[in-house]
Structure 1
Amino acid sequence: MMEEDLILIVEDEREIAELVQDYLEAEGYRSILAFDGLEGLDHFIEHRPTVAVLDVMLPKMDGIELCRRIRGESNIPIIIMSAKKSETDKIIGLWIGADDYVTKPFSPGELVARIKAQLRRFKHLSVQKEEEHTIKFPGLEINLKEYTVVRAEGRQVELSAKEFKLLAFLAANRGQVFSKEQLLENVWGYQHIGDTNTITVYVRKLREKIEPNPSEPRFIKTVWGIGYKFDGGIQ
């Protein structure tokens, strides 16, 4: 559990909502209550909760529509609560993006356990997703989503769009040797040979920005007679 976790509970039966809130607070979670669908949507927009727990039968906007609205804006875990035992309602809830479905009457302890499970899963997937966007080497970290490059000392490196694209392409294909013509094709996007001196210039610029010693590069290595490869910085 993290301090920033905030659970949105949208339930028109105040007694149930407050009981769930009490159980969550006993576990150290912050929570916010809404008693109709529109209020729930307003709370979601304003507070950006970590998990949403929604009753199906709500005034002003039902839980299914609220679930659809939230899912259109966010991938947070959504748990649907319903007094209905119809399999159709459960299927609809899961089909529009809910992650779990609880039938009333339920144990508040069980609901809290389900919320915890959804939080663990969501955070694990979030970490995996972030790792997929990040290429890490000793002394260099490349974030493909944020287009940032950070050196070992924590200093962010300022790169042009083409410099970043060239670095990211080489790093994503660590150890593979590319000719200048192949780099032009893959980074600049055209298939004719063009001016291969462009690659020479950009490699020199990159080395000046990312290498501890540009004259003895650790990352972007020259393979004489062929082209360049990204070595990973391990000496």
Structure 2
Amino acid sequence: MQRIEDSGGKNKISVIDDIDFEEGQLCETTRRIVIVSPQPASIRSLFVALSIRCYDVLVFHHEHDPLLLTIESDLFIVDRTLGVSSEPIEESEVNRTILYLCKPGDENNGHAHVLEWPCTIERAVEKIEKLVSRNPSAYGSQGSGELLRLKDLVVDLKRIIVRKAGSKVELTKTEFDLLKGLLLNGGGVMTREEMMSFVWGDSYFGGSNSIDVHIKSLRRKLDDNPRNPKYIATVRGVGYRIAD
């Protein structure tokens, strides 16, 4: 049980939040959220709640800070409870979904994603997690470090674990290696021969149709429709690639 009281301007937030977080627990994966607020004290409870839930949270004071355009993140949160900046940041600039925090009654302001603030931490985190999970991740992007990301998939190269929207997906070693190979290929097409070589090495002499069998199983476990693929697209007569 945690109690956090923040005062900022006319608003005073008193939050009692039940946090399911055991002492010593480690964060297996981290996604980054950037918060822009001219009054950071007013969003302190949100900052703490997100940090405890394994988000990497960065806070800026001004929407026109030039550093914002250089930082990779999974979601932008812009505090508009004190009004609109003279130079508001646009989604096209940061290439990320923006969630706007607005005063009660200001929700219908033309923005796609708005959260009335202050509100309960449970409501705020639920909204944020929905937006983050459906976003392709820029932070910790493909090919960097020990984590590969694709939309709501997180591939842990060290532990050989795949999670979809936070839930573990049980894959065979071959299925894991096929997904890893496609991700490392940066969206380019991999032929069946290239995929066989990546998974089994040059000494493998099996038929290329074995790749199709394993891809079919991989798609089924990821709940990926080959006719409308979210993760793996077929390039007829050639092989496979990561879907757009």
Shorter chain as denominator, the TM-score bin is 0.3 to 0.5
TM-score by length of 2: 0.39
TM-score by length of 1: 0.40
Bigger fraction of residues in strand: 2
Bigger fraction of residues in helix: 1
